Chain A
Amino acid sequence: MKQISSTPAKIELGHVTHLYLSTTRAFMAVQDINLRVEEGDFICLVGPSGCGKTTLLSLIAGLEKPTAGKVWIDGREVSGTSRQVGYMLQQDYLFNWRSIEDNVFLGLDIQGIRSKETEEYALHLLDEMELSDVRKSSPLQLSGGMRQRVALVRTLACQPDVLLLDEPFSALDYQTKLKLEDLIFSTLRRHKKTAVLVTHDLSESIAMGDRVYIFSRNPGRINSEIVVPNPIRDALPFDARNHDGFQDLFHRVWKEMEVVSDAAKGN
């Protein structure tokens, strides 16, 4: 045990507290969060809206600096955005004025690493997502699911080790969402990425994650942690939903959520 904690985790949060300040008030988004994510882990954050899940992603991504506490990636303190971390938003936010190909190369342009090899890697990813034939198209010609897949390629093209997913399926129809869950799950597994998924969908969190963290709000804190057992953890999200233990696990998470939202009401 001791040995594990002495090697740096992929992502580690130590006593992280974050305040949002305005002239009228100081709002505590998250309080005293401690979290360790090992390399290759897939963790999910669930909780009522306004519990600071997205704030936590921003802190890990280096978009914001925690008011107190520290965030480390590979044992190095996070002080700004870095190539190591990729971020996927709720919607694709593709640039309509660029072709699909140029959208995918965006990160390469920004980081000044656009070359024959990196371009080829990006196009290979595009091919993996079965998007090769639309590479010259405009984003406007694509469906929601295709656009979100392009956004995934745009993120992966920069070869980040850590992927932060902020409800990336919430704007999609149910069928597309299920398919994309499987695709992202297997892609991240294959490329051995560490991932943090924020979601509202409890069954999605169980189907995709190795561990599920349930947050309470006002201020946002980790209320409980549920470890997803092995057969469900390794199955594709679509199949995981049909596993025997899935319903029990869902009820456990559901109960925890009830506790959390009751507590919030009590306040």
Chain B
Amino acid sequence: MQPKEIESVHRRYLQLEKRMSFSVFSTQLFLFLVFLGLWELLARTNTINALIFSYPSKIWAQFWLQLQDGSLLPHVGLTVWETIIGFLLGTILGTVMATIIWWSPFLSRVLEPYLVIANSMPKVALGPVFIVGFGPGLLSVIAMGCAISVIITTINVYTSFKEVNQNYVKVVQTLGGSKRQIFTLVILPATIPTLLATLKVNVGLSWVGVIVGEFLVSQQGLGYLIIYGFQVFNFTLVMMSLAIIAVIATLMYQGVAYIERRLTSQFK
């Protein structure tokens, strides 16, 4: 085969690939528009209850109004802030706990049943305890955002620490490495892909924790808006908050996924 032929075959392949991506994207966009259109149509013709389901143009109007009068951004800002803090705390505390457990086989055996119990327990049930402990405010919400991810992080990270191929550990040992060096030179770098995958899960979990936390205590935030909208029976407000959460949560997830791709490229 001539280089020219190879090039033209490759070019054809690239074209097909491009066309495929375009078809996928346009179908996705189409489905979304159909969904919005149907929703609007059914609500306006009163086929579905417009009071409960609201409809897109009304939600957009509400969003625009609140954005302009400045009453929306403080809610969004606070919730995002709480989520990030809860997410970071949950991840860091979980990793630190996993490290301590990895360090001491005795402690890992002692703590194992407690971790299992803590993991199977629905963390949001701790809400009242947090409110009493941390007061009805920001701290309780963050505690919830953190609590919901910390145990599962501990378990996942500890499992991945244990799954590191023992021969890598042996390499460091035969070179005279201490336990600390085994951790920093092998265990930690080898589990970076798992750590980052855990981060992605934790973003979603922290959103759950923070929104539930805001349901329970707060005077501000997207969770508060949802509960408030529910209480005054303004479902346009509820739907708007849901849409905002969906968009921001997706952005945060993509942000972490981007970091993951950047940091793990050398592992593949």
Contact = CB atoms under 8 A, between A and B. Distances in A.
Interface in A58-115: 61, 63, 81-83, 85-87, 89, 91, 93, 95-97, 106-107, 109-111
A83 B168 contact: no
Contact of B174 (A86, A97, A138): A86
Interface residues of A, number: 23
A97 B176 contact: no
B180 to A, nearest CB: 11
**In the A-B complex, the 6 residue pairs with the closest CB atoms:** A87-B174, A107-B175, A110-B177, A97-B189, A110-B175, A93-B167
B164 to A, nearest CB: 11
Interface in B212-264: none
B139 interface: no
B224 to A, nearest CB: 44
A231 to B, nearest CB: 34
B185 A110 contact: yes
B165 A93 contact: yes
A82 B168 contact: no
Interface string B159-190: 00000010110111111110001000110011
Interface residues of B, number: 20
Nearest to A94: B171
A110 B172 contact: yes
**Residue of A83, A87, A89, A110 with most partner-chain B CB within 10 A:** A110
A207 interface: no
Contact of B176 (A89, A91, A95, A111): A111
Interface string B172-212: 11111100010001100110100000000000000000000
Interface string B37-50: 00000000000000
A110 B168 contact: no
A158 interface: yes
The binding surface of chain B is classed by DSSP as helix
Contacts of B185: 95, 106, 109-110
Nearest to A84: B176
Contacts of B267: 96-97
A64 B237 CA distance: 67
B192 to A, nearest CB: 7
A154 to B, nearest CB: 8
A95 B186 contact: yes
A81 B172 CA distance: 10
Nearest to B186: A95
B266 interface: yes
Nearest to B188: A97
Contacts of A85: 174
A61 to B, nearest CB: 6
A59 B177 CA distance: 17
B171 A93 contact: yes
Contacts of A154: 171, 175
Contacts of B181: 110
Contacts of B170: 63, 87, 89, 93
A61 B173 CA distance: 10
A199 to B, nearest CB: 18
A96 B176 CA distance: 20
A154 B167 CA distance: 15
Nearest to A63: B173
A193 B190 CA distance: 32
A63 B170 CA distance: 8
Contacts of A97: 189-190, 192, 266-267
Nearest to A57: B174
B266 A138 contact: yes
16 contacts: A81-B175, A82-B176, A83-B176, A87-B171, A89-B167, A89-B171, A91-B167, A93-B167, A93-B170, A95-B189, A106-B175, A109-B185, A110-B175, A111-B175, A140-B268, A158-B175
